[in-house]
Amino acid sequence: MSGNPVLYDHPGPRARIRNLALTVVFGLLILAVLYWVYRKFDEKGQFAAILWEPFLKAATWNNFIIPGIEGTLKAAATAMVFALAFGLIFSVGRLSEHRWISVPAGIVVEFFRAVPLLLMIFFISYGVPFLIQKPVPPFWSVVIGLTLYNGSVLAEAFRAGVYSVPRGQSEAAYAVGMRKSLVMRHILVPQAARAMLPVIVSQLVVLLKDTALGYIVSYPELLQLGVNVLSANYGNVVAAAIVVAVIYIIVNFALTSLANYLDRRSQRRGIRPRAIDPGAAMGGGGAAAGA
């Protein structure tokens, strides 16, 4: 019985042949679309060698690409830290039994989840200065916008993760006299973070890509410098966009690989057997028996 499929039936010989045929057909269709896109760009001269020559010069990388990568990573790393803290704090707030805490926390989370990120960055950069009577640097406009939006999404992810932990664990903790703050910090939140790690990583990847929206406030990130400014100097917008897209793929793949490595390492550490003191496990019964 344990070997029987639960969610789906294993495909039979005809189904395997049909799946293979569909895979081949759709693969050929994708190749045909990619070839059509290549031909259209080639007809417009977008693959001419002169448009790709700037990427063979050190000045292009030193003046545009590398500063853009640094700006993207700086904003993304800062916003990731703040968004994780924001999500953790407001998820705990939404889980509070006190309505004067849970209701405002829920309003904040739902509001910032509903507002488009581009509009949020635009308002922080051009609207907030009217309130504080001083300009907001583009870096902080991007970071604050990313923090509020992605932090609200992470708050819901953490809350769902806490609800996914079996109730028996928290009930057992309460039974031994632990307070709710200790239960959240030592039992629920660590397990929720591990359970929701794929969602958290996906959201952090989205956060990194969303730094590209900083162009609206002229923040010098990879899209702004590597595509807009670079193509304005060399007239190679398609070539620049392809190179920048490859860089984004590499950076996001590295981030995902790092998260997967940390997840595997934490799981190995979590299942490592621990030495148990028989006397402690028996509540001192062994010593009493010896006496």
Residue 69 has pLDDT above 80, yes or no: yes
- CATH code given to domain 49-269: 1.10.3720.10
Residue 284 has pLDDT above 60, yes or no: no
Confidence class for position 8, pLDDT limits 50, 70, 90: low
Question: Residue ranges per domain, the chain?
Answer: 49-269
Q: Name 226's Cβ contacts closer than 8 Å, sequence gap at least 6.
A: 64, 65, 68, 240, 243, 244, 247
Residue 278 has pLDDT above 60, yes or no: no
Residue 92 has pLDDT above 70, yes or no: yes
Phi, psi of 227 (to 5 degrees): -120, -60
pLDDT at residue number 66: 94
Query: What would the DSSP string read from start to end of 154-212?
Result: HHHHHHHHHHHS-HHHHHHHHHTT--HHHHIIIIIHHHHHHHTHHHHHHHHHHHHHHGG
Q: Judge if pTM exceeds 0.85.
A: no
Confidence class for position 119, pLDDT limits 50, 70, 90: very high
- Give the tens place of pLDDT for each residue, 181-228: 788 878 887 887 777 777 888 888 899 999 999 988 989 999 999 998
Average pLDDT, the chain: 84
Weakest-pLDDT range from 73-87, 91-105, 142-156, 180-194:
180-194
Confidence class for position 139, pLDDT limits 50, 70, 90: very high
